[in-house]
Structure 1
Amino acid sequence: MTPVRKLVLLGTGLIGGSFALALKRARLVEHVVGVGRNQANLARALDLNVIDSASQSAAEAARGADLVLLATPVGQMGALMAEIAPVLADDCIVTDGGSTKQDVAALYREHLGERLAQCVPGHPIAGSELSGAAAAQYGLFEGRRVVLTPLPETAVDAVARIRALWLACGADVFEMSAAEHDGVFAAVSHVPHLLSFAYMNALLDKADVGTCLDFAATGFRDFTRIAGSHPDMWRDISLANSGAVLNDLRANLGALQTLISLIESGDADALTAYIGRASKARTDWGSRGRKP
């Protein structure tokens, strides 16, 4: 496979940095430019050899690139696309790691409408509550799934190029429509994060929150781990995918109301069945051998 001559990371954190490190290890990239607003984070990325050079100007960095990865929160992508559009080389592929896809597809159309053949929307399923260049790691994508949601105009060879690079990172690559993607990930990613945030906020409103936290242990740690995630990113995701998110939040509200009713009624058999259904499904899913 021909290496990427110049990879530009618009956002030098967990996803972008790990992508760069994986390609470096596979010897599939010659030079990586990191772009970001945080000078300290860019300096850290240079120290860790995540990137080879740094810039705070997306347009300056994108000149001469043959691959640009948008690895920022979704809310920042439109402005970045508009900034790089005038300087992109004809053969430059633009892809992204956004957690929502219908809104990102609309941004591609708005800002890169004349180069849609070279645009490959994507989503690596390898998030973490950690952020910044220091969170980047070589094997982040090994055994993980990456979903590509090509536009109708996206060239077949551009999709093939991005697919091959993700495969070289150790990922399993899938394709689906943007609408299907957003419905699936509202259910299994976006809403779980929001429920964790909601639980933490409810706990913080308790008069004895300090004592509760003092005695919190494994179950609390497991359930609330994702509540430590980046606020700006999850704000953008929630608003960008609001339709699917609200549908699933309402479904969860209904499930909670059912649980309240079962406890209020004292119906032990029904409560056991309710809990047992969920427990079996989670155990069956966990036994598939997938990397969590």
Structure 2
Amino acid sequence: MIDLHAAQVAARQGEQVQQRIDTLVVAGVGLIGGSFALALKRAGRVGRVIGVGRTLANLEKALALGVADEISQDIAEAAARADMVLLACPVGQMGALMAAMAASLRPGCVVTDGGSTKSDVAALYRRHLPHHLPWCVPAHPIAGSDMSGASAAQYGLYENRRVVLTPLEETLAESSETVSELWRACGAEIHAMGAAEHDAVFASVSHLPHLLAFAYVDRVAAKDNAERCFDFAATGFRDFTRIAGSHPEMWTDISLANREALLAELADYQAGLGRLAALLENGDAAGLNQLFGEARAARTRWHQQFLRRG
């Protein structure tokens, strides 16, 4: 079990306690949940991992690969034995899972998630787990990929990556520290922010790019000469469209969950396209050069910072 008393004592003494949990339940044994389990196994921070999911074939794959030590399709039964539950499924599935396990959770069992939106997930915690909120810690590991399923799980996914925590007002500090310390054991860097700020930031730098990539590939695929276009597509097309290979169900959930922020970002982007179209129509080489130069400089600054973080 999680030793919260030891964490409290260590916190008062200014020490860093090494959290270890006996039983971790991972609901959604894919890239995010599976990689979390593998990293904790390698760090010696977890005794047993129970993988829970809808698809038996994927659960059996997780078992065969050593991502999980036990598998189940009954979240309530698994949660009854858990010291921590990680909801690593699409956001649209989280409410049903919370409702199903609500009566089974023991006091002190930490419940966290890996959802890419946080305001809606916070509301789900309050709706379905109202008596368990002190041990609920909404989180978002920034380590996505276009890969999915248990075979996508990898040991080093979270090394030098960021994990954002958006604790509820009711969340105990000890619960947040437990989740933080376990993510640190995976190699991650922890940041905290409010749910609304989180959703606005990620609408801009994560969710909108995915929508644009999906929409762009769909537009090319709908062309009369689509086969010809794809035949001549090369590295630029590959790099720009990589995230269009992401999981459709997950990104449908994310898009709808963060709808308001995304609509605002889309409106701003459409205005930007209008300005670009005007520059092209007017043959404004100086304007285009300035726009491209400023964008290039901003991207270069970001990339240098990104490399330093890594």
Which TM-score band applies after superposition, normalised by the shorter structure?
over 0.9
Q: Which amino acid aligns with 1:242?
A: R
- Equivalences for residues 230-269 of structure 1 within 5 A: 230-269=247-286
Provide the residue aligned with 2:244 in structure 1.
227
For each residue in 1:123-142, what CA deviation from the matched residue of structure 2 results, as whole angstroms up to 9, or x when unmatched? 00000000000000000000
Provide the residue aligned with 2:3 in structure 1.
none
TM-score, normalised to structure 2, is 0.93
- Equivalences for residues 98-247 of structure 1 within 5 A: 98-247=115-264
Secondary structure of the residue aligned to 1:287 is helix
Identical residues among aligned pairs (%): 60
* In structure 2, distance between residues paired with 1:45 and 1:174: 29
Provide the residue aligned with 2:20 in structure 1.
3
Secondary structure of the residue aligned to 1:44 is helix
* In structure 2, distance between residues paired with 1:290 and 1:99: 24
Alignment RMSD, CA only?
0.9
Offset at 1:290?
A: 4.6
Give the count of matched residue pairs: 292
Offset at 1:3?
A: 1.5
Secondary structure of the residue aligned to 2:66 is coil
* In structure 2, distance between residues paired with 1:243 and 1:81: 24
Is it true that 1:59 corresponds to 2:76 in the alignment? Answer: yes
Q: Displaced runs of 4+ in structure 1, greater than 6 A? A: none
For each residue in 1:253-286, what CA deviation from the matched residue of structure 2 results, as whole angstroms up to 9, or x when unmatched? 1111111111111011111111111111111111
* In structure 2, distance between residues paired with 1:23 and 1:205: 45
Q: Which amino acid aligns with 2:280?
A: I
Secondary structure of the residue aligned to 2:107 is coil
* In structure 2, distance between residues paired with 1:40 and 1:156: 38
Provide the residue aligned with 1:87 in structure 2.
104
Match of residue 86, structure 2, among 44, 66, 69: 69
Offset at 1:64?
A: 1.8
Provide the residue aligned with 2:9 in structure 1.
none
Secondary structure of the residue aligned to 1:86 is coil
Structure 1 unmatched ranges of 5 or more: none
Structure 2 unmatched ranges of 5 or more: 1-17
